[in-house]
Amino acid sequence: MTEICALASGSNGNCYYIGNENSAILIDIGIYYKRLIERLNEAGLNKNKIKAIFISHEHSDHIQGARVTSKKLGIPVFYTKKTYRKCYDKNKADNFGFFEPGTPYKIDNIKIHSFKKNHDAADPCSFRIEINGKNIGVMTDIGETNETLHQELSECDAVFLEANYDEDMLMNGLYPYYLKQRVSSSKGHLSNLQAKELIENYASQKLKTLFFSHISAVNNTHDIVKQTFSHLYKKYKILLTSRQEASEIIRL
């Protein structure tokens, strides 16, 4: 059985758990170790199953717990070489390795497919995790989609997909102009409408579960996300992730 859970999702920290009966990995570790353990316990997940952490990019909300978590759990953290070089030393684990986007990596019986994405970082990647015959996408922090993302999404049974901002809230909100431009740029984040178009156009019949993720606390609301995707609630199991608590565990 495959278990997936968003342990944290938002600008203050991101961490996604994907595992089976014996092993698990984390995608990103943007929360500190103490908070990680709290969220794992809250969800009823076993920290001893976690065998490795894969980092999507060097921004602090994806990596700030890497060094301590690696040490405490005795597990490696994997970066691309460009991402590792860009990280602050305090976010570099002593036990580390490298992966190359486009080249699959295997941890026990978990196969990690990584691919490049559009975001304002050194070497940002999204992931598709192949486990127990299921495919789980982790697709957040994306300024715009591309053909690779479309293809990878079409393979997924479940996906953590960014729905970061509502366009009206962003453009009419309190962010300074430069930050509005960054968020909405081709190297920023996906809006609700961009995520909606992505699902409508490229999801296959395999897709059953959607975790809408990295939802902005300033430029979005859960009510707006629910309204945007209301027409999909009969077709998919839909969860809205949180920065304050672990999500429901989905078992596939």
pLDDT digits (tens, 9 = 90+) for 169-197: 999 999 999 999 999 999 999 999 999 99
Domain span at residue 169 reads 3-246
pTM recorded for the entire structure: 0.97
Number of domains in the chain: 1
**Is 65 within the bounds of a domain?**
yes
Place of tokens 């019986």: 109
Residue 161 binned pLDDT confidence (cut-offs 50, 70, 90) = very high
Residue 60 binned pLDDT confidence (cut-offs 50, 70, 90) = very high
**Is 235 within the bounds of a domain?**
yes
Tell me the average pLDDT of the chain.
Answer: 97
**Is 145 within the bounds of a domain?**
yes
Q: Count Cβ atoms within 10 A of the Cβ of residue 90 and give its class: 0-12 exposed, 13-18 middle, 19 or more buried.
A: exposed
Beta-strand relationship, 24-27 and 15-19? antiparallel
Quote the pLDDT of residue 162: 98
**Is 143 within the bounds of a domain?**
yes
Quote the pLDDT of residue 237: 98
- Per DSSP, the residues of 76-126 read -EEE-HHHHHHS-GGG--SSEEE--TTS-EEETTEEEEEEE--SSSSS-EE
List the CATH number of the domain containing 223: 3.60.15.10
Residue 82 binned pLDDT confidence (cut-offs 50, 70, 90) = very high
Secondary structure element (H or E) that encloses residue 70, with its range = helix 66-73
Quote the pLDDT of residue 119: 97
Residue 170 near residue 180 (C-beta atoms within 8 A): yes
* Mean pLDDT, rounded, for 41-57: 97
Q: Which residue in 76, 103, 113, 74 sits closest to 92, CA to CA?
A: 76
Place of tokens 């479940």: 158
**Is 251 within the bounds of a domain?**
no
Amino acid of residue 196: K
Residues of the chain with pLDDT > 70: what percent? 100
Residue 227 binned pLDDT confidence (cut-offs 50, 70, 90) = very high
Quote the pLDDT of residue 133: 95
**Is 252 within the bounds of a domain?**
no
Structure tokens of 186? 């081709």
Quote the pLDDT of residue 167: 97
Contacts of 184 (CB under 8 A, 6+ apart): 165, 167, 170, 171, 191
Residues of the chain with pLDDT > 90: what percent? 100
**Is 70 within the bounds of a domain?**
yes
Quote the pLDDT of residue 97: 98
Quote the pLDDT of residue 22: 95
**Is 175 within the bounds of a domain?**
yes
Q: Could you say which DSSP state residue 47 is in? A: G
